[in-house]
Structure formats: structure tokens, C-alpha cells
Amino acid sequence: MWTLRPSTLYLALAVAGIAIIAALSGSHRVIAQSGQGRLGLPEDWSHRHVIFSNTRDIPLLLKIRQDPRILHQWLKQNVSGPNSGSRVPVEQLQFRTKEPDSDSNDRSVSQDHVDWSISLGGGNSIMPRTKYPAKYSFDINATPSCTNDFTIFSTGRIGNAGQATLVGFNNLYSTQGAAGGFCNHNGPSVKWAYNTGSVIMTSPVISLDGTKVAFVSRAPGTVHVLTLGTTGGNGASAITPVVPGTGNNAVDVRVALNAGHLVSSSSLFVDYGSDVGYVGDDNGVLHKITGVFTGTPSEVTTGGWPLTVSLGAARLNDPVFDFVSKNIFVTDAAGNLSYVREVGNASGACASGAPPCRGFPSVAVSSGSAIVDSPVVDYVTGRVFSETAANGANAQIIQTDTALGSVVRVNVGLQNAANPLHNGAFDSNYLNNVSTGFYYVCGKANNATLDPTLYRIGFNAAGVMNSAPGAATFRLGRAAGQCSPITQLLNTGSGKQWLFVSVSTRCGGTALIGGGCIMSFDTTSGMPAAATASVLQRNGTSGIIIDNVSTVAQASSIYFTNEGTGPCGDGIATGGCATKLTQAGLQ
């Protein structure tokens, strides 16, 4: 049974119309009525970069419902059911923390009190701090599935016979060391471990039906659309991978990007409605791929594509497509926020020619620091967010409109170009009524220590950021370091809002944890006075993915990799770790 929060009534009207997505393809059928078929729920990097605040504008709702991410957001905010309903207040989950013997940056200390952590191979097998694993819940209307629910991680390593590039796990709802959790299993099972060749430095994306995963390999830049194997041997671990299609029925379709430039920082953004993907390369060029999940993947090389965005050939980050303006927003290593006007565009101007075209103007977000995260776009308010660790004397959050014509800058501490800022997160209040909500970000201290510091920024009724953050702040760590991107979660059972963030070194406002950690905070009543829980994670973490909020044992969790190498819970002593923790308890 689904329940609807009154403040999301109008947004629900858009969700009620999401069944039009069923027309996309039989293999991607989506049915949004409980009990009338399976409703899969993908969760990937793009769900952190596309936001739907509430609105009463019905024509606008009819536009934004073209993106199934509105359904995914609404489900996580409102739905009660066997999978995500009957919620247990996550603050009741028990937790313990582990501190190393000193507050030095001790990278050799193993993790403790985690549900599970599994090696992703040898060497520096980690996802970059700005990138995310992906999670797929097979059916939001049913009990979590040990067999069909899965997470998938890129390893950041070149593939070979002893190293996977992509690893997927099921039996997620389990504990390591002894069989436990809903799955009654000793840690997760490796569902796939594939060697696809070139290193993957960016985030994977999952199809709506969970049968395919799209990703981008670095050298030469290549988009892969991998149909996941269901028969034969699909790899036993990160160090015993298989090649897709060899001894299994997996199919790895590859599209080599025009000009063969490297792709180090850009994930694929998928427009599910048109089955189109966008990806940027390291020479400042944006590429368009058609037939991503339901057709035959291929690059568009006519009509203006591929398109140069950065005239200085700066490396592009993940692009974000806005269904409403039909602009594609992208940041780059030179510190700029730019946009591309797609065909059918109704916002902005072309630098020259007609859409598709490079938009004019761009915004010089930074004066002394590369931007390493992609922009965040609120489809409803038509606002775009980015951040810089150094613009003049300050670290800043910036907000602009979809034509990049009106820019608001908010200082969040002193500049520290050596340690980039990362994406913040909106609380649930913002999603329901922007003027009552906040954007939480990790900035820097306003003194020479440059400590990572949590700020929150409010908005007016039009969705424009206040000119300064709130007076209350929280020191997340000591010594110059950087945070992970922030993740927020609403527990609709308890009504509490939770924030998850890691820091790279000397973690904690009062009690230090050397070597970095991950923390959870209760932000229901505003800026927290203390962390609810904190657990050692070497050098901090990658981007953090959440799954259910559920009474099922071990099924309310977060997933990430740490950013340092060392022992994982499976006893392998090198490389990075794919890790699962329960939510607020971080157990």
C-alpha cells in the first residue's frame, strides 16, 4: 500500500503519469500501480544530480514526468510497501566505532564493525571520490530480493586475467564473518566479475529493467553497454574475472568515441525517454549516443555532433541533461560551467549557429581550482548548482539559471585549491517546499586551519539561494582535507532526515579518527551538534549510494568504496574495498 505525504500532492500527479514510460519498450516496462507488475528501482550517480522539487505547475509536471528519475525520487520519499515500507527508525540501529591507536593518518588500520567489505582487486582498485557505485532493487513492491537485487562497482584498474574492471554483488542483505541478515549469508556473493579491458574511472548506469549496465572506459574513450550474463561462468571474484561472452551469455557492445580521446572524468548520462546518452571526453568534447538500452548503441556524428564545449580542451565531467530546458550542463577541469543547447531547446542562446550548439555564456565558477564534480540541476525551479574550492579568497557554492545568465555565489569558508569541494545534498524540506528547505555542503573553515566544515544554505520562494549560509556550522574534520559528496536520506517511518558524508583525514569535530572516516548526522532539526555515528574508512569514501528503508535485516544500507588501499573484510590485504554499512548506525 502506498501512502502520500500531503506536501507532495502535485508532484504525485506527475508520478501518476509515469506509466507512459511503459511505451518505451517491452524490455523496459514500468508499471506504477502496486500489485500490477514488477517495478524496478535503479540508483546511480545521476540520481544525485537531477532533483525534482515540488510544484503546482501542471504543464511543467507533464514535462518532467518524461524522466523516470522523478518516480524514483518520489518512491524514496513517499512509498510504503514490503520493500521500502514498514520502516524501522534507523536511529534505533546499534553501532560501534573504531579508532586507530593514534590520530595520525594510519592507512594500515583495517575496517571494523561493517556489514561487509569485499576487495575490488590489487593495487589502487577504488572508485574516485566523485564517482558512485550503482544499486538495483528488483521490485519495490516486494520483499528485498537476495538473488535479484544487486550493486555494481567499477574497480579503477586495467582489466586482465587477474583483475576485473567491473564487479557486481548480490546477497547484499547479509553480514560478513558468519551467515546473517535477511539473506542468511556470509557476506555478499559475486554475481559478475568482468574483465572489459581498459580502466573505468567513472560511474556505471543501470537500465530500468536491471538487465544492462552502461559505462565508459578511459583509453581510448569507449561507451560500453553490457547485457549482464545469466548463464555460464560470470566470474568468481575481482581477481578471477571472465571476459563477457566467453563461457557466458553476457554481451559487451562497444562504441568507440569519435577522435579517440581519453575519458577520465565523465560518466554516461542517459535520457531514458529518448534512449540517448551523453558523455564528455578529456579534450572538452561532448558526445551523443543513441540506442543506449533499447536499441543498437551508436554515436551521432552528423548535425553538429560531437560538439566542442571547452574551447581550451579542458577535461569534461559528467554531463546532466535537463528535460525542461533541453540544455545539457557540464563542468570542466578549467573551472567552468557550460551548457549545450540540444535540438528543441527553449532556454539560452547559441555562441554561434543553431542547436545543437555551445551555449552562451558560460560561467567561470573558479579562479584557481578545477571543478571535479558535475552540476546538480533542479528541473522544477530551473536552477543549476556547482562548487569551487577557490574563487578569489573563498570556497564557494554557485547557483545559476538554465541560461547561465543569473549567478548567485555563496562563500563557504576560505579558498583551498588543493582540496576540491564536492556536491552537497538537498534535504526533504527543499523537495517539498524550496523556501523551507536547505542545501547541505562541505566547505572549508573561515580560518587558516581550512578544516572541512558543514554548512547549510537556505532559499527564497523562487528557489534562489540566500546570499550567505546559516550561522550554524559543524566542523567535520581537522587539517586540510576533503569530503565525499554528501548524501541525504528521509526515513519516512520516523520522520527523521539523515546525512552521510566522509572526510579524507583526521575525522570528527571533537573525537578524532585518523586516516579518514564516514559519518552520519540527524538533520531533522537543522544543523547537527554531533555525529550520530562515525566509522573508520581509509582516506574517506567515494560517492555514497543508498537503498531501502526497511525492517528487513540488513536491507537499509549505504554502499561505497574507500579511497585508500589495505585489508578488506574478506581478508585480501591489498586494493580498495566495496563496502556496505547500515544507514544511521553505520554498523
Q: Are 202 and 267 in contact (CB under 8 A)?
A: yes
**CA distance to 233, 395, 410, per residue, from 407 (Å):** 53, 15, 10
502/78: higher pLDDT = 502
Per-residue pLDDT at 500 exceeds 70: yes
456, containing H or E segment: strand 452-457
Per-residue pLDDT at 218 exceeds 90: yes
Q: Of the ranges 36-40, 54-58, 293-297, which one carries the lowest mean pLDDT score?
A: 36-40
Distance of CA 557 to the CA centre of its chain: 15
Q: To 10 degrees, what angle do helices 9-16 and 69-78 make?
A: 130
In the chain, the percentage of residues whose pLDDT exceeds 70 is 86
What pLDDT digit, counting tens, does each position of 118-149 carry?
999 988 899 999 999 999 999 888 889 999 99
Range 512-526 average pLDDT = 86
Strand partners, 240: 237
Per-residue pLDDT at 31 exceeds 60: no
What the block records as the C-alpha cell of 156 is: 579503477
CATH of domain 9-582: 2.130.10.10
Query: DSSP strand E in 334-393: where?
Result: 336-341, 349-350, 357-360, 363-364, 376-378, 383-391
Model pLDDT, residue 77? 77
Q: Are 176 and 117 in contact (CB under 8 A)?
A: yes
Strand partners, 583: none
Model pLDDT, residue 552? 83
Nearest alpha carbon to residue 220 among 277, 259, 266, 165: 259
Per-residue pLDDT at 22 exceeds 60: no
- Residue 84 confidence class, pLDDT cut points 50, 70, 90: very low
6/383: higher pLDDT = 383
- Residue 507 confidence class, pLDDT cut points 50, 70, 90: confident
Per-residue pLDDT at 421 exceeds 60: yes
- Residue 514 confidence class, pLDDT cut points 50, 70, 90: low
Q: Are 547 and 181 in contact (CB under 8 A)?
A: no
Model pLDDT, residue 267? 98
Range 327-344 average pLDDT = 97
Model pLDDT, residue 98? 36
Instruction: Give residue 230's identity as a one-letter amino acid code.
Output: T
Dihedral sign, CA of 326, 318, 217, 358? positive
The answer to pTM > 0.85 is yes
The C-alpha atoms of residue 459 and residue 437 are separated, in whole angstroms, by 7
What the block records as the C-alpha cell of 67 is: 524522466
The C-alpha atoms of residue 426 and residue 525 are separated, in whole angstroms, by 14
Model pLDDT, residue 17? 52
Range 449-460 average pLDDT = 95
What pLDDT digit, counting tens, does each position of 174-193 carry?
999 889 999 999 999 999 99
Q: Are 187 and 175 in contact (CB under 8 A)?
A: yes
Distance of CA 56 to the CA centre of its chain: 28
Q: What is the mean pLDDT of the chain?
A: 87
Quote the Cα angle for 580-581-586, to 5°: 160
Q: Are 526 and 547 in contact (CB under 8 A)?
A: no
The C-alpha atoms of residue 272 and residue 293 are separated, in whole angstroms, by 8
- Residue 336 confidence class, pLDDT cut points 50, 70, 90: very high
Per-residue pLDDT at 513 exceeds 70: no
Q: Are 106 and 100 in contact (CB under 8 A)?
A: yes
Q: How many CA atoms lie less than 13 Å away from 450 in the CB half-sphere?
A: 19
What the block records as the C-alpha cell of 15 is: 508520478
Per-residue pLDDT at 317 exceeds 70: yes
Per-residue pLDDT at 151 exceeds 60: yes
**CA distance to 179, 210, 228, 238, 244, per residue, from 165 (Å):** 28, 19, 14, 8, 11
Model pLDDT, residue 480? 81
What pLDDT digit, counting tens, does each position of 326-335 carry?
999 999 999 9
